[in-house]
């Protein structure tokens, strides 16, 4: 019987799939260890590494976006900051680490209402990395500016439009509203999320009416849990139910303590920053929201460049710290 001779296999040039997977696993293991030790300085170097290794143009831009996405993913896995060595802003505005910084009061700042004025937005992006940036979903420039913010190392939030009381103010298109079906509100949430690349959380734009309604918030909390997104409450209403509803559904959440620029003068913003420091001293952690006004951005640039005795932390870290503090207080009160 005629038998076919076995076909001679031509050896492949390069690495086989198993070897590639081993190399990839080793890379991520080393990166995770480096992030746990070097933290922010390691992660913020990812986009720069892409610039060095890859050609200019659209391919390099895609690579920088991938690095930013990896940066966001590592944040979500808790590798962006070592608990033993919190972030500190030096006199130059750079982020550094000190072992004794864990005892310093912590401050987190979110700049929201971003997405429209490109020049002012880029001044916000130039602030220290720990300052979070929250973008309205509907401006045309939002996707571009959110990518720039993520590449610069900032946490990115979606400034989600929600219904205000008595309809006295218009929160903008695709706002979440009382009386709108839960499915439609979740659809609007997903549209907003799709407009802001690299988001890790949301905070409400207006929403004094919507955030008081537990029934309206529940479908949103469920959706945020499924999407692994936190909810930072802007606290536009003293009766806000955001934090208890979000936490009940396993969504990390905490509320804003200080608005920096309700009055837009240098003295007024400086007074609010002093109040923020006072709250941080008293409670160990304090949070603030500011806006892309010239006076606010100038004041924050000066303040952060000379910050001493405090540590500036990302808003995700502040949410965790405030949750731990509030839970500890609740447990202590129940023990008595």
Residue 61: give the domain boundaries: 17-76
Query: Sorting pLDDT into bands at 50, 70 and 90, what band is 27?
Result: very low
33 and 93 part of one domain: no
Strand pairing category for 311-312 and 285-290 = unpaired
3-state SS of 115-141 is CCCHHHHHHHHCCCCCCEEEECCCCCC
Alpha helices in the chain (DSSP H): 17-38, 40-43, 45-53, 58-76, 118-125, 142-151, 182-195, 214-226, 242-248, 266-283, 294-305, 315-335
55 and 97 part of one domain: no
Domain end, chosen from 76, 101, 122, is at 76
Domain end, chosen from 76, 106, 122, is at 76
pLDDT in tens, 156-167: 999 999 999 977
**Which position has the token pair 């979903």?**
137
Predicted pLDDT at 149: 98
108 and 26 part of one domain: no
Mean pLDDT of the chain: 81
Rounded distance, CA 98 to CA 210, Å?
42
Q: Looking at the domain assignment, is residue 81 inside a domain?
A: no
278 and 323 part of one domain: yes
Predicted pLDDT at 11: 43
Q: Looking at the domain assignment, is residue 251 inside a domain?
A: yes
Q: Looking at the domain assignment, is residue 215 inside a domain?
A: yes
**Which position has the token pair 């405090």?**
310
69 and 119 part of one domain: no
Which CATH number covers residue 267?
3.20.20.370
**Does the pLDDT at position 21 exceed 70?**
no
Angstrom CA distances, 64 to 31, 53, 70, 118, stand at: 17, 11, 10, 20
94 and 153 part of one domain: yes
pLDDT in tens, 221-252: 999 999 999 999 999 999 999 999 999 999 99
Q: Residue 290's closest CA among 120, 44, 167? A: 120
Q: Domains in the chain: how many in total? A: 2
Q: Is 247 exposed, middle or buried (0-12, 13-18, 19+ CB in 10 A)?
A: middle
Q: Looking at the domain assignment, is residue 289 inside a domain?
A: yes
Rounded distance, CA 132 to CA 148, Å?
13
Q: Looking at the domain assignment, is residue 111 inside a domain?
A: yes
117 and 40 part of one domain: no
Q: Looking at the domain assignment, is residue 229 inside a domain?
A: yes
Q: How far is CA 117 from the centre of its chain?
A: 20
145 and 255 part of one domain: yes
Domain end, chosen from 76, 104, 126, is at 76
64 and 205 part of one domain: no
Highest mean pLDDT among 19-23, 69-73, 125-129: 125-129
pLDDT in tens, 80-129: 443 333 444 544 445 555 556 778 999 999 999 999 999 999 999 999 99
- Maximal C-alpha separation, the chain: 99
320 and 184 part of one domain: yes
30 and 145 part of one domain: no
Query: Sorting pLDDT into bands at 50, 70 and 90, what band is 265?
Result: very high
Q: Looking at the domain assignment, is residue 11 inside a domain?
A: no
Given a contact cutoff of 8 angstroms between Cβ atoms, the answer to whether 262 and 234 are in contact is no
91 and 126 part of one domain: yes
Q: Looking at the domain assignment, is residue 4 inside a domain?
A: no
């Amino acid at each position: 019987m005629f038998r076919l001779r076995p076909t001679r296999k031509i050896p492949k040039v390069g690495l086989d799939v198993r070897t590639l997977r081993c190399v990839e696993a080793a890379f991520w293991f080393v990166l995770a260890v480096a992030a746990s030790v070097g933290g922010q300085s390691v992660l913020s170097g990812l986009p720069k590494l892409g610039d060095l290794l890859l050609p200019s143009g659209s391919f390099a831009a895609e690579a920088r976006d991938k690095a930013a996405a990896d940066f966001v993913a590592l944040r979500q896995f808790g590798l962006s900051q070592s608990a033993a060595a919190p972030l500190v802003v030096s006199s130059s505005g750079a982020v550094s680490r000190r072992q004794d910084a864990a005892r310093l009061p912590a401050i987190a700042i979110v700049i929201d209402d971003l997405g429209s004025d490109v020049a002012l937005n880029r001044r916000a992006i130039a602030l220290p990395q720990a300052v979070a940036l929250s973008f309205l979903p509907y401006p045309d420039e939002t996707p571009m500016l959110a990518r720039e913010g993520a590449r610069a190392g900032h946490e990115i939030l979606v400034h989600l439009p929600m219904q205000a009381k008595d309809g006295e103010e218009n929160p903008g298109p695709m706002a979440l509203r009382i009386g709108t079906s839960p499915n439609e509100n979740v659809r609007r949430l997903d549209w907003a999320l799709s407009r802001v690349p690299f988001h890790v959380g949301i905070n409400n734009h207006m929403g004094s009416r919507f955030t008081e309604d537990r029934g309206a918030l529940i479908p949103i909390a469920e959706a945020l849990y499924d999407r692994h997104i936190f909810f930072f409450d802007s606290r536009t209403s003293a009766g806000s139910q955001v934090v208890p509803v979000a936490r009940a559904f396993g969504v990390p959440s905490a509320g804003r303590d200080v608005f920096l620029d309700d009055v837009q003068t240098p003295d007024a913003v400086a007074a609010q920053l002093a109040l923020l420091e006072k709250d941080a001293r008293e409670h160990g952690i304090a949070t603030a929201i500011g806006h892309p006004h010239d006076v606010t951005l100038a004041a924050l640039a000066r303040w952060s460049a000379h910050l001493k005795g405090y540590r500036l932390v990302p808003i995700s870290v502040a949410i965790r710290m405030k949750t731990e503090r509030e839970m500890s207080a609740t447990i202590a009160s129940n023990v008595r």
